[in-house]
Amino acid sequence: MSEVMKQQPFHPEIEDVLPADVFAALGDPIRLGILVSLAAFDEVDKVRCGSFTELASPSLLSYHFAKLREAGITRVRAEGTARFISLRREEFDRRFPGLLDSVIETARRDPSVPRISNLG
């Protein structure tokens, strides 16, 4: 009954994001796996955070989601009991033109990066 609304997670202003923080966030195979899986799925903003449990445990996923989110790479939206994760495509591309594409291509091509088969 309380009027307390569900707090959406914190997202940095894209101008405040520094290159070194972006690269640090990309410096982990699980996070690269989240990134390539997200990029491979075409229905934006329809991917539940829980879809990634074959990459890591729920609690570890939450940690990695936070890293990506704090680096300005992803956005997380809470809806009911679920959470949806998506790329901050336009903003990020404006801030760092061309970077995300070559990062995704690099990760996509490499077998050391884990993947989610059936997302969504």
Partner DNA sequence: CGACAATTTCAATGATCGTTGAATCATGGT
Partner DNA sequence: ACCATGATTCAACGATCATTGAAATTGTCG
Tell me the per-residue interface mask from 31 to 60 with DNA, x by CB under 7 A, - otherwise: -----------------xxx-----xxxxx
Total residues contacting DNA by CB under 7 A comes to 30
Question: Cβ of residue 112: shortest distance to a copy of itself, in angstroms?
Answer: 5
Looking at the Cβ atoms of 46 and 94, the one nearer to DNA is: 46
Among 42, 81, 90, 98, binds DNA (CB under 7 A): 81
User: By CB under 8 A, how many residues form the interface with a copy of itself?
Assistant: 26
Give me the DSSP letters along the chain. ----PPPPPP---GGG--HHHHHHHHSSHHHHHHHHHHHH--STT-EEGGGGTTTS-HHHHHHHHHHHHHTTSEEEEEETTEEEEEE-HHHHHHHSTTHHHHHHHHHHH-TTS---SS--
Q: Under the criterion CB under 8 A, does residue 44 sit at the interface with a copy of itself?
A: no
